[in-house]
Amino acid sequence: MSLQNDASHEKASYNLYIYSQLSQEDSSCCTVVATKESSAADVIKIAVAALCLDASKTYVLTEVKECGGEEWVLDANDPPVQRVRLWPRKAQERHSQAEGYYFLLQEKNQDGTIKYVHLPRLSEEEAARRLVERGFLPRPQEDYNDLCNLPNLTESAILGNLKVRFVKQKIYTYAGSILIAINPFKFLPIYNPKYVKMYDNHQLGKLEPHIFAIADVSYHTMLKKRVNQCIVISGESGSGKTQSTNFLIHCLTALSQKGYASGVERTILGAGPVLEVI
Ligand SMILES: Nc1ncnc2c1ncn2[C@@H]1O[C@H](COP(=O)(O)OP(=O)(O)OP(=O)(O)O)[C@@H](O)[C@H]1O
């Protein structure tokens, strides 16, 4: 459906592409100029004339959504333009059969019934694949740095994503503003001053997930709102809570520029074992 320039938006006219048959090879198509108010009956009348069909017969307009496996017969009063406006943006522009969203003009049988197209029911994966191929959905990434962006939020998808990232030595992943850390049980060169600087005063989520990002956000929120901040660290024994706390303290003291000069970091870290005993 392409919008034609018109001074008044209310009176804007749209090009609707109407097919008279399903078969892709010999389908004939015509363009009908319609407004938001045009009814299916108006569109059918113009399409029948444009496609040189027998005007003595009765026709219905069917909205076909291949991905959902849906065929919807429009009522004579239904405005087709309104239906198109609910389609994915790309399908709205030029809804050819190849895009999987289109209108089909169908002849009514003597008894008032119509012959349904009976689209094969697509599996969810196939439907998603076609939507991606047609540019209606973004291409799936290899891994997601925020679990909230996973296309399918299932346990296996979450674990699979964490695993893919872990293999690439990306031990941190966001779940919104929560940071998930997986213990690498080896030293990774991602805690040096370069990283403290990189995450200094940044917006959470803009850079690769990191424990310093959490430290930085709480530090700057504390300065801005002048309210104490709290970071909750939770995990099973040996998961890396103490180590994560140390990294947080290291980053916080570095950000406050007291880390090296006053030995604050050493003092706080030294108190850690005593606090853990209590
Ligand atoms: N980010 C990390 N990088 C490298 N090694 C890590 C990291 N996190 C944890 N480790 C390793 O895992 C070990 C266990 O971590 P840690 O002591 O922090 O676990 P914990 O959750 O505090 O355990 P517990 O609850 O038993 O005290 C550490 O000694 C360290 O060797």
Q: Is 246 in the pocket of ligand 1 (CB under 6 A)?
A: no
Asked if pLDDT for residue 121 goes beyond 90, the answer is: no
How far apart are the C-alpha atoms of 163 and 182, rounded to whole Å? 9
Q: How confident is the model at residue 77 (pLDDT cuts 50, 70, 90)?
A: very high
Q: Report pLDDT for 190.
A: 95
pTM (two decimals): 0.58
pLDDT higher than 80, residue 175 = yes
Q: Is the CB of 240 under 6 A from ligand 1?
A: yes
Per-residue confidence (pLDDT) for residue 4, from 0 to 100: 59
> Cα Rg for the chain, rounded, in angstroms?
30
Q: Give the distance between the most distant pair of CA atoms in the chain.
A: 94
> What is the reported pLDDT for 13?
86
**Which atom of ligand 1 has the smallest separation from the CA of 243?**
18
> Tens digit of pLDDT for each residue in 181-197?
999 999 999 999 999 99
Determine if ligand 1 sits within 6 Å of the CB of residue 170. Answer: no
| Contact between 49 and 31 (Cβ < 8 Å) | no
- Average pLDDT of the residues in 134-143: 78
- Looking at ligand 1, which atom is closest to the CA of residue 171? 1
pLDDT tens digits for range 107-120: 887 777 776 666 66
Ligand 1 centre from 273 Cα, in Å?
13
**Residue with structure tokens 């850390």?**
181
